[in-house]
Chain A
Amino acid sequence: MFTALIFYMFAAIAVASGVMVISSRNPVHSVLWLILAFFNAAGLFLLLGAEFLAMVLVVVYVGAVAVLFLFVVMMLDINMVEMKEGFLQYLPTGALIGVVLLVELLAMFGGWAFAPDVEAMVKAPTPTLEQASNTVALGKLIYTNYVYLFQASGLVLLVAMIGTILLTHRKRTGVRKQVIADQVGRSRDSVELKKVQSGRGI
């Protein structure tokens, strides 16, 4: 009973803040609502007994991703009113297509059947809680069983990084950059020290 109440609280707040993310006028508010949504999702994970995922969600998404978003949003001068122009214009067509797709998918799921031992297959890679704690089980899955996929994802991210640098990085001339080696390597003679009497100036 108590768990159910907590669940509904987390779920309701998560959905409500999700709606606020896309409907609030100020993009900074959107990001703040997003952070609230993440916290509630973490709460839902805790209720499911996935404590590691809950902590990771808070640390990674709230701690890093959302704060990064916040910085980007504050730095960029986005005019949301301008961006949302035309939203209403496209709404009827978009909604119509969405409804058609939804009906089609419902028709498909109406005839849905599972393979005979799907449940056993799904559970196969994960040990029960008695055998290993969540963190151990996840670590084993990611870094032992699926290490190939883990490394492959790493390469995908590396390519994304190379691509971003390649397509946006420009060497500009006339920029004054701090070169620490030059500063440290200066000889004593290049600096002139003067004693300045107070109230006189140079």
Chain B
Amino acid sequence: MIQTSDLVPVLPEIFIALAGLALLMLGVFRKEDSTKSVSVLVILAFGAAMVLVSSLGAERLTAFNGLFVADRFAGFAKGLVLVASAIALAMSLPYLEREKIGRFEYPVLVLFATLGMMMMISANDFIALYLGLELQSLSLYVLAAYNRDNAKATEAGLKYFVLGSLASGLLLYGISLLYGFAGTTSFEGLANLFAGGHEHPVKPNMGVIAGLVFVLAGLSFKVSAVPFHMWAPDVYEGAPTPVTSFFAVAPKIAALCLLTRVMTGPFADLVEQWRQVVTFIAIGSMFVGAFAAVVQTNIKRLMAYSSIGHVGFVLVGIAAGSTLGIQGVLIYLAIYLFMNVGVFAVVLSMRQKGRLVEGIDDLAGLSKTHPMMAFVMAVLMFSMAGVPPLAGFWGKFYVFMAAVEAGQFTLAIIGLLSSVVSAYYYLRIIKVMYFDEPVEAFDKPVGASMSLVMAVSTIVILAFTLIPAPLVTSAKAAAQVLFPAAG
């Protein structure tokens, strides 16, 4: 039987789901266009969910017969996801209004995607994982094709849908192999089995490893890690820019946290088996992120490759497989969030005569026409490149330190090398902004929400070096719950 008290850990999700249903009704039955009011209410709902998540406390709670888990790790990750989704939605509103494509389904879909992400983060069973992932992906497919009269957006949606379904198929096949071996899909059951909790210790056989690799492949697709990254540039470029800014942050954070939980939970004792796969994916992502981005001329495509590179760096932390590594992952993700929303706030402000432009050349001479915006972009680009006093450096520092501590020297060295290469294209943007002759100036004013996002992200990036403690300690506490044995 399910008692009411069993529902406590799931309260944030239940709240979000009910809010989604209520807002859907509100949107359907109101005569006039309610995009704006529904969006504001969705952002408020995210805020309320954040309060609920933080009120759960530090204790590890499970619900629904262990299908769902709420712990510090989940709390930290859900906080990031909710912030990212709320900012992305706030940045979309002016765009939707200006382009006159606002429909109330947009914020509702963002809400359901976020719900899916929260379910992924808290999944404690492969079926729960799959359903959360599918709820998130399905909402994202629709959002990618949201601007349905635009051929590029439709193509992006279709491409994302077809490849995403294939990845889901791979994931499910892997899960079925694991179930065939173990007879259970629960994370705890699998972890016990591989830890040798039974009389006969279980040797991982071919089938299990194949299942593990299939699961990894499916999840790598969702985080757009090499070699499953092909969809990312096209989808990022084709989707409407606010949707891209949503894609680049929240789903990545959720999927990477999910990957972390799966690797350190059920497969904790198969670390020798998955480490080589994750290492390979990490190296590939860092290289492709660094080299393929050099030749890009479209800023959205550039951001796609940049995010592939960042996923590579995060995977370095996961490959370390230690508390330090996971702490690094969480710090990196938090910094990544603020860097990306800041850059996308700039990208969304790149409009000439009311038309959105996406070329890197369009940024030329920004320092003369919009000095503040150029400064924000410069800080964020330096941070992404990993230039020391800024937050981006510390993100890389933590993951590489974890890799070195785990004895993964090659990984750390390759990471540093690709980081140097990627610095080239980040610095190129700064060069274009500060040393090239100005072309046409961007429209003024950029709008209150954009300025606010730019300001907040820049302040966070600058301030992290001075006051790192809150983030570092909470990330550490969150990482420790995944390694109960280490204390």
Binding site for B on A (CB under 8 A): 108-109, 111-122, 144-149, 151-153, 155-156, 158-160, 162-163, 165-167
**How many of B's residues come within 8 Å of A, CB to CB?**
48
* Contact between chains at B142 and A115 (CB < 8 Å): no
* Contact between chains at B112 and A108 (CB < 8 Å): no
Instruction: Given A116-B199, A149-B127, decide whether A156 and B138 contact each other with a Cβ distance below 8 A.
Output: yes
Query: What is the minimal beta-carbon distance from B205 to any residue of chain A, in angstroms?
Result: 5
Residues in B neighbouring A121, C-beta threshold 8 A: 182-184, 189
Subset of 7 A-B contacts with CB under 8 Å: A109-B207, A113-B207, A118-B183, A145-B64, A146-B65, A159-B135, A166-B146
Query: What is the minimal beta-carbon distance from B412 to any residue of chain A, in angstroms?
Result: 34
Query: Which single residue of chain B is at the shortest CB-CB distance from A166?
Result: B105
Contact of B475 with A by CB under 8 A: no
Query: Which single residue of chain A is at the shortest CB-CB distance from B24?
Result: A162
Interface residues of B in 329-383 (CB under 8 A from A): none
* Contact between chains at A159 and B109 (CB < 8 Å): yes
Residues in B neighbouring A156, C-beta threshold 8 A: 131, 134-135, 138
Q: Chain A's interface: helix, strand, loop or mixed, by majority?
A: helix
Query: What is the minimal beta-carbon distance from B143 to any residue of chain A, in angstroms?
Result: 9
> Which of B17, B65, B109, B180 is close to A163, meaning CB atoms less than 8 Å apart?
B109
Query: Which single residue of chain B is at the shortest CB-CB distance from A162?
Result: B105
Instruction: Given A113-B207, A118-B182, A144-B2, decide whether A159 and B138 contact each other with a Cβ distance below 8 A.
Output: yes
Residues in B neighbouring A144, C-beta threshold 8 A: 1-2
A166–B243 Cα gap in the complex (Å)?
15
A149–B139 Cα gap in the complex (Å)?
18
* Contact between chains at A115 and B182 (CB < 8 Å): yes
Residues in B neighbouring A112, C-beta threshold 8 A: 180-181, 205-207
Residues in B neighbouring A146, C-beta threshold 8 A: 64-65, 67, 127
> Which of A109, A153, A165 is close to B105, meaning CB atoms less than 8 Å apart?
A165
Contact of B102 with A by CB under 8 A: no
* Contact between chains at B142 and A118 (CB < 8 Å): no
A162–B180 Cα gap in the complex (Å)?
35
Query: What is the minimal beta-carbon distance from A108 to any residue of chain B, in angstroms?
Result: 5
A144–B131 Cα gap in the complex (Å)?
17
Given contacts A145-B64, A158-B21, 8 further A-B contacts (CB under 8 A): A111-B205, A113-B205, A114-B180, A116-B198, A148-B67, A148-B128, A155-B115, A163-B138
A108–B209 Cα gap in the complex (Å)?
10
A167–B144 Cα gap in the complex (Å)?
11
Residues in B neighbouring A152, C-beta threshold 8 A: 119, 128, 131-132, 135
Residues in A neighbouring B68, C-beta threshold 8 A: 148
Query: Which single residue of chain B is at the shortest CB-CB distance from A154?
Result: B17
Instruction: Given A159-B109, A159-B139, A162-B24, decide whether A108 and B207 contact each other with a Cβ distance below 8 A.
Output: yes
A116–B181 Cα gap in the complex (Å)?
9
Residues in A neighbouring B50, C-beta threshold 8 A: none
Interface centre among A115, A116, A144, A145 (most CB of B within 10 A): A115
Instruction: Given A116-B199, A116-B200, decide whether A147 and B2 contact each other with a Cβ distance below 8 A.
Output: yes
